[in-house]
Amino acid sequence: MTDLPAGAAYLAYDGDALHAGRGPGRSFMIDARCLGGEAVRDAYAHVCALPAPDASLEFDQPEVQQVRRDALAWWIPLLGDALVCLTTFALDASRYAGAMTVTREPVSWADDPFARIFPGTVLRTSLFSDVAPPPGPVLERYAGVAWPGGTF
Amino acid sequence: MTLGPGAVFPDLDLPDHTHRPRRLSELAGGDPLALLFSRGWWCPKEQRYLREVTAAQDEFEVAYARIVVVSIDSPEVQSAFRAGLGARFIFLSDADRVWMDRLGLLEVTDTTHRPYRPTAFTLAPDLTIHGAYDGYWYWGRPTIEELRQDMRAISRDIREDFRA
C-alpha cells in the first residue's frame, strides 16, 4: 500500500464487515468523499472484492475499464435515488482490487457490472455518505485516486 | 447576456437525467467541458449530432474532459435517449425552461416545442467560454475535430505540465 494521495481514504474489508481506516482485514484506497459527509444509516453495500490479498488486476485492463463504462452508461441510472455512493478499490497507483456500490435499499445486485470482476457480497453499513455520481465520460483516474474520486 | 469567448458561462443548476440536482461547475470538476444545448430527442439533427458526439466520448473518457447536454426534455425522456445513444455523459433537463430566457437561447422558429436553440460552448473549468457555436443551421455546430482542438487549447492553458 502506497502513501495516501489527496482525495483518497482507507477502507478495510475482512470478508464480513467494512471498517473505516486500515484493518482489520484487507485495506483499500477509496474515493474519500464516500466517508466525508453525514453517514446514511443502515445502508446496503455491495462489495465486489475478495479478502484474499492477491485478488487484484491492473486498473488499465480492458475489463476493468469496461465495468466503469457500464457503471456510467446504465448501472448508475438504474439505481436512481437508491444510490448513496460508489467507489472502486485501489491498492496503489495501478492495481484494482474491486468496487463497492452503496444504496439506501436493496437493489438488483445481480446486475452490478463490478461483480463481473470480483463476486459481490451485500453488507449492512452506516459508514458512508451521499456522493453525487460521476458525470462521465471520464474513466481515467486522477493522480492515482480510486475512480471516480480525485481531481487535478 | 453575452455568451462569447472570454465571458463566464452561468453556473447552471438543473436536474440531470436521473433527477439528481446538478451544478455546471461541479460537473466540470476541474476539467474542460463541452456544453451542448440541444433541441430534444425528436429532432433528426440532434439525433445525428449526438450520435457523433457519443462516438467521440471514447476520447473524452481518457482525456480528462467532460460533455454536458442541456435540453427541454424531461429527465425520463433524456434517460431513454441517452440509453439509445449509448452515451456515458450527462444530460441536464430544463423542462421548465428556467434558464432559457436568461441565456437568450430560445429557438424562435419552433413554436410547437419551444426548445433550446442548438448552441455549443467549450468551457474552461471555471466556466470561462473558449468557443461558441451557433448550430441553428446544422453546419454551424462544432465538428468533433473542432471540439478536439478546443479541448486541446483549454487543456494547454490549464495543465501546467502540458507542453506545446
CB contact under 8 A, A138 and B68: no
Confidence of residue A2 (pLDDT cuts 50, 70, 90): low
Q: Which three cell numbers stand for residue B69?
A: 447536454
Distance between CA atoms of B33 and B64, rounded to whole angstroms? 9
Residues from chain A contacting residue B124 (CB–CB below 8 Å): none
- Is the minimum CB–CB distance between B29 and chain A shorter than 8 Å? yes
pTM higher than 0.90 for the full model?
yes
Please answer whether residues B150 and B128 qualify as being in contact, where contact means their C-beta atoms are separated by less than 8 angstroms.
Answer: no
Tracing cell 471516480 back to the chain, one arrives at A148
Give B109 to chain A, closest Cα distance, Å. 32
CB contact under 8 A, B61 and A135: no
Give B114 to chain A, closest Cα distance, Å. 27
For the stretch A99-122, pLDDT in tens is 999 999 999 999 999 999 999 999
3-state percent helix, strand, coil for chain B, nearest multiple of 5: 35, 25, 45
Q: Exposed/middle/buried for B48, CB within 10 Å: 0-12, 13-18, 19+?
A: exposed
Secondary structure, 3-state, A69-108: HHHHHHHHHHHHHHEEEEEEEECCCCEEEEEEEEECCCCC
Kind and range of the H or E run holding A123: strand A120-125
Tracing cell 466540470 back to the chain, one arrives at B28
CB-CB: which of A133, A136, A140 is closest to B62?
A140
* Alpha-helical segments (H) within B61-116: 75-85, 100-103
Distance between CA atoms of B140 and A115, rounded to whole angstroms? 44
Give B159 to chain A, closest Cα distance, Å. 9
Give A5 to chain B, closest Cα distance, Å. 17
CB-CB: which of B17, B64, B86 is closest to A138?
B64
* Positions in chain B short of pLDDT 50: none
CB contact under 8 A, A152 and B60: no
**Cα dihedral B85, B91, B96, B102 sign:** negative
For the stretch B80-106, pLDDT in tens is 999 999 999 999 999 999 999 999 999
Distance from CA of residue A130 to its chain's centroid? Answer: 13
- Is the minimum CB–CB distance between B77 and chain A shorter than 8 Å? no
ipTM reported for the complex, 2 dp = 0.92
Rg of chain B (C-alpha set)? 15
For the stretch A9-64, pLDDT in tens is 999 999 899 999 998 899 999 999 999 999 999 999 999 999 888 999 999 999 99
